[in-house]
Amino acid sequence: MNIIQKTALTLTIIGGINWLLVGIFKFDLVAAIFGEMSVFTRVGLAALINIVLLFMDLDTPRDIKRRMKE
């Protein structure tokens, strides 16, 4: 996993925990920390990155994939 993947995964986990808190306690932790309607509360960039990662084959290194196609 590279740094972008780890960052996206971390942000997605934080977002999931935040939605759990919103659903159960009606408490928005991210908004409490960063403020209402900040960039962090409005942009789901981590989710978009994880959607791309969902369709990538991360188990096989790219150079091995190239050799298998030859």
Residue range 18-63, pLDDT digits in tens: 889 999 999 988 888 877 776 666 667 777 777 887 787 666 666 5
Q: Give pTM, 2 decimals.
A: 0.62
The C-alpha torsion from 41 through 43 and 48 to 49, rounded to 10°, is -80
Predicted local confidence at residue 26, as pLDDT: 93
